[in-house]
Amino acid sequence: MSLSNVFGIAGSAMNAQTIRLNTTASNMANAESVSSSVDETYRARKPVFAVQQADPLADLQSSYGPEAGQGVQVLGIVESKADLRQEYNPAHPMADEKGFVYYPNVNVVEEMADMISASRSFQINTEILNTAKQMLQQTIRLGQ
Amino acid sequence: MAISFDAALGIHEDALLHRARRAEVLANNIANADTPNFKAKDVTFSQALNNASDTMSIKQVATSPGHQTALLDPGLAADMMFRIPTQASVDGNTVEVQQEMARYTENALGYQASFEFLNKKFTGLKSAIKGE
């Protein structure tokens, strides 16, 4: 039944958006985590989204032609390759021998926008879920 | 005279199935609103209606369980189509969430209408059986 697939699809999207919110929270929390070397510095983390394809066998067996995809999946979380913020501050307790401290490449404004976008997408998917739930509940009452 | 459920229920049964399938396709579009290079898809109602009401003049006979009758369905190719975006996105994503949301709501209302028609058919059949 296609309507119950909507639950899986919207659920996968909500899950993906939650992961996106989690990475944003982690980036924001570590936005000012200084370190004394380039390798140890925290880098902004971003999730990679991809379509979750339907089972190709199901396509052949269905009498209604090709199936819709099965929602969204998170392929992994990658670290941003943007340059780190380097600051000359010899008085800083974390300064290296040349007097530099390194700040993460987290752009707080970008993260805030990302957070709002993720929470809106989450809301829309709960809306989709609710509508599908109502449609199914109605179907159960058929013939009464 | 026997009551034929197929004849009594008419097109509404197929319409309900189509609406349920379209809900799935639209939900998938919205779920992938943030996926790079995702292309939004939709199923056309008129095409599905033709498929449901037309009877194919030449039928494929499956003589072995390995034969795939679905592959010869003429509606298969034209049924699901990619949407043409009004504002293409930089990352190759063609989902316009507001539009998809509007279509999803419209589809849910269509489902409700088809459901009501079907429900009334059943009520009618029931009163015919009881002879009230």
Distance from CA of B76 to the nearest CA of A (A): 5
DSSP per residue over B33-100, as a string?
Answer: TTSTT---EEE-HHHHHHHHH---SSPPP--STT--GGGG-THHHHHEEEPPPSS--TTS----HHHH
Q: Is the pLDDT of residue B53 over 60?
A: no
Count of all residues that appear for chain B in the document? 132
Residue of chain A nearest B42, judged by CA positions: A68
**pTM for the full model?**
0.80
Structure tokens at A143: 């013939």
Residue of chain B nearest A6, judged by CA positions: B24
| More confident site: B56 or B94 | B94
The pLDDT value given to residue A12: 94
Q: Does A78 touch chain B (CB under 8 A)?
A: no
The pLDDT value given to residue B11: 82
The pLDDT value given to residue B49: 62
DSSP per residue over A77-144, as a string?
Answer: EEE--SPPEEEE-TTSTT--TTSEEEE----HHHHHHHHHHHHHHHHHHHHHHHHHHHHHHHHHTTT-
Q: Is the pLDDT of residue B97 over 50?
A: yes
Of A120-129, B43-52, B71-80, highest mean pLDDT: A120-129
The verdict on a CB contact (< 8 Å) between A124 and B28 is: no
Q: Which helix (H) or strand (E) holds A76?
A: strand A72-79
Are the C-beta atoms of A81 and A87 separated by less than 8 Å?
Answer: no
**Band (B125; pLDDT cuts 50, 70, 90):** confident
The pLDDT value given to residue A3: 84
The pLDDT value given to residue B77: 45
Burial class (CB in 10 A: 0-12, 13-18, 19+), A115: middle
pLDDT digits (tens, 9 = 90+) for A125-143: 999 999 999 999 988 888 7
Instruction: With CA atoms as reference, report the closest residue to B40 among B96, B115, B113.
Output: B96
By Cβ distance, the residue of B20, B70, B111 closest to A63 is: B70
Q: Which residues of B touch A (CB under 8 A)?
A: 17, 20-21, 23-25, 27-28, 30-36, 38, 41, 68, 70-71, 73, 75-76, 79-80, 97, 101, 104-105, 108, 111-112, 115, 118-119, 122, 126
Over range B95-118, report the average pLDDT. Answer: 93
Instruction: With CA atoms as reference, report the closest residue to B81 among B48, B33, B37.
Output: B48
Which residues of chain A fall below pLDDT 50? none
CA distance A49 to B57: 45
Average pLDDT, chain B: 80
Q: What three-state secondary structure class fits A54?
A: coil
Q: Does A16 touch chain B (CB under 8 A)?
A: yes
Structure tokens at A88: 């000359």
Instruction: With CA atoms as reference, report the closest residue to B95 among B37, B19, B44.
Output: B37
Are the C-beta atoms of A16 and A47 separated by less than 8 Å?
Answer: yes
The pLDDT value given to residue A49: 94
Residue B112 amino acid letter: Q
Distance from CA of A84 to the nearest CA of B (A): 25
| More confident site: A34 or B65 | A34
Q: Is the pLDDT of residue B6 over 60?
A: yes
Q: Does A101 touch chain B (CB under 8 A)?
A: no
Residue of chain A nearest B25, judged by CA positions: A68
The verdict on a CB contact (< 8 Å) between B79 and A2 is: no
The pLDDT value given to residue B75: 47
The pLDDT value given to residue B3: 65
Select the residue from A4, A14, A24, A64 to test the B interface by mutation, using most B Cβ atoms within 10 A. Answer: A64
Residue of chain B nearest A71, judged by CA positions: B28
Q: Which residues of A touch B20 (CB under 8 A)?
A: 1-3, 135
The pLDDT value given to residue A45: 94
By Cβ distance, the residue of A10, A62, A143 closest to B31 is: A10
CA distance A21 to A19: 5
| More confident site: B46 or A74 | A74
Distance from CA of B20 to the nearest CA of A (A): 5
Q: Which residues of B touch A3 (CB under 8 A)?
A: 20, 23-24
Structure tokens at B39: 């292309």
By Cβ distance, the residue of B27, B36, B112 closest to A9 is: B27
Neighbours of B100 (CB within 10 A): 22
Q: What three-state secondary structure class fits A49?
A: strand
Q: Is the ipTM of this complex over 0.85?
A: no
